[in-house]
Chains A and B, each alone.
Chain A
Amino acid sequence: MSKGAATRKYTVFPFGPQHPVLPEPIQLRFTVDEEKIVDVGVNVGYIHRGVERACELNDYQRNVYLCERVCGICNVMHALCYCMALEKLVDVEVPERAQYLRVIWAELNRLESHLLWLGLLADAMGFESLFMQFWRDREIVMDLQERTGGNRVIPSTCVVGGVRRDILKSLAERFREDMVELRRRVDKLAPVILKDPAFKRRTVGKGVLSYNDALMLGAVGPTGRGSGLVKDIRLEGYQAYKHLKFEPVVEKDGDVYARTLVRFYEVYQAIDLILEALESMPEGEIRVKPEKWPEGEAVARVEQPRGELFYYVKGNGTNRLERVKIRTPTLANIPPLLAMLPGYEVADIPVIVLSIDPCIACTERITQVKKGGGS
């Protein structure tokens, strides 16, 4: 590509793996004609951590703490997905109350992630004050996580067979107050997202992903839902989602603005889901101890803030697992990202790349090493 491109006076430049806009170690190689993107290639594998191998060396109950650390932002989802897969293997029925508690923590994670992302998007387009305001309001969520889970970022509440902590009545009251306060604060910021002309000029019509492309390239999560794809794993009704009422947020335009709106409305949806779950949570046990070692194969899927998370687990009747396979949503969203970029200007790159909410460190499962240096 580069030789032919050089004769046609195209320029090739790398974006990443270390770049001030995107602290994620992904390299995108852009072929540009003046300011216009013609072609884009991708290179991943800079931050391979060997989590899957480490999962095979640990005791299966301790793996929960390892899987939580695959992604810092959506840690509850990772623990939840791993536990769901393991619970199929060890034949454990999770108590009803534990299922509700898991949903509450998972939705807190979604709130945290979406508010963080909305701030990052504002930062990527140079809208510093909006960035700070979103992150200020996110502190409510972080404090709630510390209050209920015991830790600010990683609550470590999920275990195979249930949860480790309960939300007491006094704390639930506090929870409700904080959620109402958060909704009031997000309401205040809503006009900026919905009406501000400067915000719209940077996002409307940029990085368009058509419905067909989203379907063909397998876009998941808000990236797919922004293109009109009705795809939400929560609709399958895992854990307590089967008892809760919600509609997936779907926008049709497929541009960055549509994806922003999906995430913005999902903030409200998450607040509603938490309030509903707190209201309808039954009393009872929160944990069941598994009585046998995992044997056989199982698959679990969970809707993360970024899309579909997938765990495959294989046990062999001992306390260690034979294989764990993790697929995070960013891996599924990289091909749609490559389809979004061509045709837009270099100045739009940060906003478009950020619009899939890339989390590269979670994605890395392989690393490429070529003979003679360089990859």
Chain B
Amino acid sequence: MVRMLPNIIRNLFSKPVTVKHPFVKREPFPGHRGMITFDMKKCDLCQDCERLCPPVAIKVDPEAKTITYDPFKCIYCYLCVTNCLQRAIRGGPAYTPPAYQKEIVYYKPEE
């Protein structure tokens, strides 16, 4: 009991270790592999990312000129980001936000 007493008093006045999540957001560290975005102006629909993606989260349709990306299937390995020849895929330290729809469809703008 005597040994525990300082610890108990310290715990009464110290801050909690946990973060109050919805009110305080935990920022990812620099270099964190987060949400991926496609720059359709640069993309030439070569389908390299589709072939590389381990969980098949990216689908490229060259005829309809669209890319369908599923952030919930994605494992954030960044193979597509590092291998894109046009540098059209960008990533950064940001957590994937919750969403109503699983898939995000990107359209290539008309020239």
Q: Are A and B subunits of one complex?
A: yes
Query: CB within 8 Å of B: which residues of A?
Result: 58, 62, 65-66, 69, 136, 139, 143, 146-148, 150-151, 154, 156, 164-165
Q: Which of B29-37, B40-48, B61-69, B101-109 participates in binding chain A?
A: B29-37
Contact yes or no, B29 A65, CB < 8 A? no
Interface range, B side = 10 to 19
The answer, among A139, A148, A151, for a CB contact under 8 Å with B76, is A151
A146-B17 in contact (CB<8A):
no
Distance in angstroms from B71 CB to nearest chain A CB is 14
The answer to whether B54 touches A136, judged by C-beta atoms less than 8 angstroms apart, is no
Residue of B nearest to A146 (CB): B29
The minimal Cβ–Cβ distance linking A76 to chain B, given in whole angstroms, is 14
Complex CA gap A58/B53 in Å reads 11
Closest 8 A/B residue pairs (Cβ): A150-B33, A65-B54, A62-B54, A147-B29, A156-B77, A136-B17, A146-B29, A65-B77
Determine the residue in chain B with the shortest Cβ distance to A63: B54
Smallest beta-carbon distance A50→chain B, Å? 15
Q: Check A151 against B33 for contact (C-beta < 8 Å).
A: yes
A69 to B77 CA separation, bound complex (whole angstroms): 12
Bound CA–CA A143/B31 (angstroms): 12
The residue in chain B whose Cβ has the minimal distance to the Cβ of A147 is: B29
* B52 contacts across to A, CB distance below 8 A: 62
Given contacts A65-B75, A136-B17, contact A143 B29 (CB under 8 A): yes
Provide the B7-43 mask, 1 if CB < 8 A to any CB of A, else 0.
0000000000100000000001101110000000000
Partner of B31, one of A136, A150, A154: A150
CB distance from B31 to the nearest CB of A (A): 6
- Residues of A near B55 (CB, < 8 A) are 65
Contacts of A136 in B (CB 8 A): 17
Give the complex CA separation of A136 and B15 in angstroms.
14
- Our pick among B32, B75, B78, B82 for the contact of A146 (Cβ within 8 Å) is B32
Cβ–Cβ < 8 Å partners of B17 in chain A: 136, 139
Q: Is the CB of B32 within 8 A of A150?
A: yes
In contact, A147 and B31 (Cβ under 8 angstroms)? yes
CB contacts (< 8 Å) of A165 on chain B: these are 31
A164, B77: Cα distance in complex, Å: 10
Summarize B's interface: helix, strand, loop or mixed: loop
Known: A136-B17, A151-B76. A66 touches B54 (CB 8 A): yes
Residues in B whose Cβ lies below 8 Å from that of A151:
32-33, 76
Q: Which residues of A lie under 8 Å from residue B76 when comparing CB positions? A: 150-151, 156
* Shortest Cβ distance from B28 into A: residue: A146
B89 CB to nearest A CB, Å: 16
- Alpha-carbon distance A146/B31, docked complex (angstroms): 8
Q: List chain A residues, Cβ under 8 A from B54.
A: 58, 62, 65-66
A66 to B56, CA, bound (A): 12
- Inter-chain contacts of B82 with A (CB < 8 A): 164
State in angstroms the CA–CA spacing of A136 and B79 once bound together: 32
- Interchain CA distance A165-B31 in the complex, whole Å: 10
* Cα–Cα, bound, A1→B54 (Å): 47
Closest chain A CB from B35 CB (angstroms): 13
Complex Cα–Cα for A65 and B29 (A): 22
Listed A/B pairs (26) with beta-carbon separation below 8 Å: A62-B54, A62-B79, A65-B54, A65-B55, A65-B75, A65-B77, A66-B54, A136-B17, A143-B29, A146-B28, A146-B29, A146-B32, A147-B29, A147-B31, A150-B31, A150-B32, A150-B78, A151-B32, A151-B33, A151-B76, A154-B75, A156-B33, A156-B75, A156-B76, A156-B78, A165-B31
Determine the residue in chain B with the shortest Cβ distance to A168. Answer: B31
Complexed CA–CA distance, A249 and B76 (Å)? 36
Instruction: Find the residue from A143, A148, A150 having the highest chain B CB count within 10 A.
Output: A150
A148 CA / B31 CA spacing, docked (Å): 8
Instruction: Supply 16 further A-B pairs (C-beta < 8 A) apart from A147-B31, A156-B76, A164-B82.
Output: A58-B54, A62-B79, A65-B55, A65-B75, A69-B75, A136-B17, A139-B17, A146-B32, A147-B29, A148-B31, A150-B31, A150-B32, A151-B33, A154-B75, A156-B75, A165-B31
Residues in B with CB closer than 8 Å to A143 are 29
Enumerate chain B residues within 8 angstroms of A164, measured Cβ to Cβ.
82
How far is A296 from B52 in the complex, measured between Cα atoms in Å?
A: 25
Q: Name, among B29, B52, B78, the residue most crowded by chain A CB atoms within 10 Å (CB to CB).
A: B29
Whole-angstrom distance from the CB of A180 to the nearest CB of chain B?
A: 19
Chain B residues positioned under 8 Å from A58 (CB to CB): 54
